[in-house]
Amino acid sequence: MAARILYNKGTMQVDCTVRNLSEGGAKLEVSQSVTLPEEFDLLIPQRATTRRVRMCWRSADYCGVAFLDSAEPHVQQHSQAGPMTSEQSLRARIVELEQTIAALQRRIQELTEG
């Protein structure tokens, strides 16, 4: 399932794929060429959730992460009532894209000013 790794206060975002998911963590597929911090947020739009994670291992294009927050209180829920509808999913994707655009615009500004 598609997911996104968020770090550096959300200014850095990396697409990834969740290959296995459990209550305690997940196995992610992400290019080995991408450098990741030890801890980051994992956005899973299909589950309408963002979880704080710590990387436990990394091998080639895969890494294992452990959830640092509990499943209930610290999870940012996009929807309180079951699975996301198609419209909710699209709205969540639009918000993600707007955040990505804003981060890219900030980065362009940094590069052109320096």
pLDDT (average), residues 62-86: 64
Where do the structural domains in the chain lie, given as residue ranges?
2-113
What pTM did the predictor assign? 0.62
Query: Exposure of 108 by Cβ count < 10 A (0-12 exposed, 13-18 middle, 19+ buried)?
Result: exposed
CATH number for the region 2-113 comes to 2.40.10
User: How confident is the model at residue 79, as a pLDDT?
Assistant: 41
Look at residue 15 and give its three-state secondary structure: strand
Q: How far apart are the first and last CA of the chain?
A: 38
Could you tell me the pLDDT band of residue 58, with boundaries at 50, 70 and 90? very high
Q: In this model, does residue 23 exceed pLDDT 50?
A: yes
Q: In this model, does residue 60 exceed pLDDT 90?
A: yes
Q: CB of 5 within 8 A of CB of 14?
A: yes
User: How confident is the model at residue 78, as a pLDDT?
Assistant: 43
